[in-house]
C-alpha cells in the first residue's frame, strides 16, 4: 500500500478562508470578468440517476475558448457554457482561488473532492493508454509533489490495483479537427455525485491530430491531470493550467497550494 511522506505547506488565515463552501447565497465578491487565461469551456449533463457528467475542453494553441464553445454547441454538445467570472459559477471561481490558481467549482461547492476511502490521502492512479509521444508519466510525477493527494503513474495493462483507489484512464487518438474536437487538443471528463460534492470517476483524452512538440504535449498532459485533481485554469502562463496550450510543462506553485488548501 503506497504511503508518501510529503512536506505540507503552511497557510495564512486569509488562504484558509477560501475553503468556505459556496451554498445558497453567492460569495460577497464583485462579479467582474476574470483575468485573461482563466476562462474555461465545459459541458454539464444531468444523468437519469441524478448524477452529473462534466467535461472541460482544452483549446489548441491560438484557439479562443469562445470559439470552442460555439463549435461544440453547433455540433449538438449539450449544456455548453463558458465560465469566465461574469456569472454565479465564475464568481465562485474568484472567491475560491489562491493567487493566480483557480478551482473548478460546481453549483454546490468551491471544490469537489475525491474520496479518501480509508487512506491518509486520496490515491489517484493514472492508467496510461497513450503512446510514447505523450509524457504522461513525467506529468504525473510532478503533480505528486503536492501534499494532500497522491498521484501515481501506472501502465494501462497493469490494471487498477485496488477498489479503494481512483483509477483514471488516459487515452490518446487522432480524434480529428472537426465536430466535438474542432480546436480541441485535450479534454477531461469527470463524473460527479448528485450533490456535485464528490467525484466518482474521470478519464482524459488527448488529441493526436494537433501533434505538437514534446513540451506542448507535456503541457497538455499536465493540464488535463490538473483538471482531474479538481483545478480550473491558472491565469499565469507560468502554469501548465493556463487556458490554452503552451510549452509550459509544470504546474505553478499556486496550483499546489490551492490543492493543499482543500485537501
Tens of pLDDT, residue by residue over 146-195, are 998 999 999 999 999 999 999 999 999 999 999 999 999 999 999 999 99
Q: What is the DSSP letter of 25?
A: S
Domain count, the chain: 1
Greater confidence (61 vs 131) lies with 131
pLDDT of residue 167: 98
Confidence of residue 83 (pLDDT cuts 50, 70, 90): confident
Mean pLDDT of the chain: 85
Give the integer Cα–Cα distance in Å for 33 and 13: 26
Instruction: Write the secondary structure of 225-238 as one string of H (helix), E (strand) and C (coil).
Output: HHHHHCECCCCCCC
CATH number of the domain bearing residue 119: 3.40.390
Question: Is 242 exposed, middle or buried, given 0-12, 13-18 or 19+ CB atoms closer than 10 A?
Answer: buried
pTM value?
Answer: 0.86
pLDDT number for residue 180: 94
84 falls within a domain: yes
Q: Which of 75-89, 135-149, 164-178 has the lowest mean pLDDT?
A: 75-89
On the question of pLDDT at 91 being above 50, the answer is yes
**Residue 242: inside a domain:** yes
On the question of pLDDT at 130 being above 70, the answer is yes
pLDDT computed for residue 108 by the predictor: 82
Is 105 a member of any domain? Answer: yes
Tell whether the model's pLDDT for residue 132 goes beyond 90.
yes
CA distance 61 to 243: 9
pLDDT(40) > 80: yes
Helices (H) and strands (E) in the chain, counts: 6, 8
Hey, is 162 helix, strand or coil?
coil
Please tell me the distance from the alpha carbon of residue 250 to that of residue 198, in angstroms, as a whole number: 26
Domain assignment of residue 71, given as a range: 30-262
- Residue 20: per-residue pLDDT: 36
Determine, yes or no, domain membership for 12.
no
Name, in order, each residue with C-beta under 8 angstroms of 197's C-beta and a sequence gap of 6 or more: 106, 108, 109, 112, 113
Q: Going by C-beta distance under 8 Å and a sequence separation of 6 or more, which residues neighbour residue 64?
A: none
Nearest CA to 145 among 259, 25, 39, 59? Answer: 259
* DSSP per residue, 116-152: -TTSSS-EEEEEE-S-TTS-HHHHHHHHTTSSSSEEE
Mean pLDDT, residues 6-27 taken together: 36
Determine which helix (DSSP H) or strand (DSSP E) holds 73, and give its type and residue range: helix 65-74
Strands 184-192 and 52-59: antiparallel
- pLDDT score for 93: 53
Average pLDDT over residues 189-202: 96
Average pLDDT over every residue of 243-252: 95
Sequence-distant (≥ 6) Cβ neighbours of residue 75 within 8 angstroms: 179, 180, 182
56 assigned to some structural domain = yes
Q: Is residue 50 part of a domain?
A: yes
For a pLDDT cut of 90, what percent of the chain falls above it?
69
pLDDT reported for residue 121: 96
Structure confidence at residue 124 (pLDDT): 98
19 in any annotated domain: no
Give a yes or no: residue 186 inside a domain.
yes
Amino acid at each position: 500500500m503506497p504511503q508518501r511522506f510529503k512536506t505540507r505547506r503552511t497557510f495564512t488565515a486569509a488562504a484558509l478562508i477560501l475553503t468556505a463552501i459556496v451554498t445558497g447565497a453567492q460569495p460577497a465578491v464583485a462579479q467582474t470578468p476574470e483575468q485573461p487565461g482563466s476562462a474555461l469551456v465545459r459541458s454539464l449533463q444531468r444523468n437519469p440517476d441524478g448524477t452529473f457528467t462534466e467535461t472541460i475542453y482544452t483549446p489548441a494553441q491560438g484557439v479562443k475558448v469562445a470559439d470552442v464553445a460555439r463549435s461544440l454547441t453547433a455540433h449538438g454538445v449539450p449544456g455548453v457554457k463558458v465560465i469566465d467570472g461574469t456569472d454565479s459559477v465564475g464568481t465562485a471561481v474568484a472567491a475560491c482561488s489562491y493567487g493566480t490558481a483557480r478551482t473548478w467549482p460546481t453549483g454546490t461547492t468551491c471544490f469537489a473532492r475525491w474520496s479518501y476511502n480509508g487512506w491518509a490521502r486520496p490515491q489517484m492512479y493514472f492508467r496510461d493508454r497513450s503512446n510514447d509521444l505523450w509524457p504522461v508519466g513525467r506529468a504525473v510525477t510532478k503533480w505528486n509533489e503536492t501534499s494532500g493527494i497522491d498521484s501515481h503513474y501506472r501502465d494501462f495493462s497493469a490494471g487498477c490495483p485496488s477498489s479503494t483507489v481512483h483509477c483514471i484512464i488516459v487515452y490518446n487518438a487522432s480524434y480529428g479537427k472537426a465536430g466535438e474536437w474542432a480546436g480541441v487538443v485535450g479534454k477531461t471528463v469527470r463524473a460527479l455525485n448528485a450533490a456535485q460534492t464528490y467525484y466518482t470517476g474521470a478519464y482524459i483524452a488527448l488529441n493526436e491530430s494537433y501533434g505538437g512538440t514534446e513540451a506542448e504535449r507535456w503541457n497538455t498532459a499536465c493540464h488535463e491531470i490538473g483538471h482531474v485533481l479538481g483545478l480550473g485554469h491558472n491565469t499565469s502562463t507560468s502554469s501548465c493550467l493556463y487556458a490554452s496550450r503552451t510549452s509550459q510543462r509544470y504546474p505553478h506553485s499556486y496550483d499546489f497550494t490551492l490543492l493543499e488548501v482543500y485537501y
